[in-house]
C-alpha cells in the first residue's frame, strides 16, 4: 500500500504542478498543432492519400510532442534536488518510475485529446461518421497502447538524460531510435483502421505494440534503481 501511495503522490504532485504552470501541456499542444499545420499546407493529396499518409503524420505529432513533455519530466525534479528527496522516501525507488510514467501518459493523452480533433478537421477524415463503434474502439486502443509504450521508454531515458548536462539533446538521440518499431506499428495499425479494408487486420500491429509496451515497461522497472543512482 505504501508503494501505491507514493506512486499516487507523485502523480498528484505532477498534475497539480502542471495545472498551475501549464508549461508541459502548452508546449506539447502548440508543437503538435504546428506539425499538423505544416503537413496540411505543404502536402497536397486526395482523400485516399490522406487516409494513407494521415496516420504517419498523426503519430509524428504525438512523438515529437511527447518528447517535449518527457524532456521536462525529470528535469523538473532535478531543480532544488527534488529527485533526491523522492529517492529518500522509505519505499522502493521504482515507485518514482511508475509515478512519472503515469504522469507522462496523462500529459500525452491530454495533448492527444486536443490534437486528434484538429487532425480530423485539417485532413478531412471523418472517422466518427465512417467507422463502426468497434473500429473506433480499436483506434482508441491503439493510441492508448502506443502512448503507454512510448512513455515507458521515454520515462527511463529521461531519467538517464537528467543526469547529464546535455539532457535536451541526449533524450531525443536515445529515444527516437529505440521507439522506431513502436511508431511504425502504431502508424500502420492506425492506417488499417482508417482504411477500413476487410482484407487487412490491425491485430498483428497491435500485438507488436502490446509486446513493446510490456517488454520496455518491465525492463525499465528492473533497471530504474541503477539509473537514478548518483
pLDDT tens profile 13-59: 888 888 888 878 888 888 888 888 888 888 777 666 777 788 899 99
Would the pTM of this model clear 0.75, i.e. be above it? yes
How many domains would you assign to the chain?
A: 1
Q: pLDDT value at position 147?
A: 96
Q: pLDDT value at position 19?
A: 86
Which residues in the chain show pLDDT less than 70?
1, 46-48, 79-81, 126-131, 230
Residue 38: domain span: 2-227
CB contact set of 203 (below 8 Å; sequence gap of 6+): none
Q: pLDDT value at position 198?
A: 74
Amino acid at each position: 500500500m505504501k508503494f501505491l501511495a507514493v506512486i499516487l503522490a507523485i502523480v498528484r504532485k505532477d498534475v497539480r504542478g502542471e495545472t498551475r504552470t501549464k508549461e508541459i501541456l502548452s508546449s506539447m499542444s502548440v508543437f503538435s498543432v504546428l506539425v499538423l499545420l505544416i503537413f496540411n499546407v505543404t502536402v497536397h493529396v486526395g482523400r485516399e492519400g490522406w487516409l494513407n499518409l494521415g496516420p504517419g503524420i498523426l503519430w509524428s505529432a504525438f512523438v515529437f510532442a511527447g518528447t517535449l513533455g518527457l524532456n521536462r519530466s525529470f528535469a523538473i525534479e532535478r531543480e532544488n534536488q527534488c529527485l533526491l528527496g523522492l529517492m529518500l522516501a522509505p519505499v522502493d525507488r521504482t515507485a518514482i518510475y511508475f509515478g512519472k510514467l503515469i504522469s507522462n501518459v496523462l500529459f500525452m493523452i491530454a495533448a492527444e485529446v486536443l490534437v486528434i480533433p484538429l487532425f480530423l478537421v485539417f485532413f478531412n477524415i471523418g472517422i466518427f461518421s465512417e467507422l463502426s463503434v468497434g473500429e473506433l474502439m480499436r483506434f482508441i486502443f491503439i493510441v492508448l497502447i502506443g502512448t503507454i509504450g512510448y512513455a515507458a521508454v521515454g520515462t527511463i531515458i529521461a531519467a538517464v538524460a537528467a543526469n547529464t548536462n546535455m539532457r535536451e539533446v541526449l533524450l531525443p538521440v536515445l529515444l527516437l531510435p529505440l521507439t522506431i518499431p513502436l511508431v511504425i506499428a502504431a502508424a500502420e495499425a492506425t492506417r488499417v483502421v482508417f482504411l477500413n479494408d476487410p482484407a487487412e487486420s490491425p491485430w498483428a500491429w497491435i500485438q507488436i505494440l502490446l509486446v513493446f509496451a510490456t517488454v520496455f515497461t518491465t525492463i525499465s522497472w528492473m533497471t530504474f534503481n541503477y539509473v537514478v543512482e548518483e
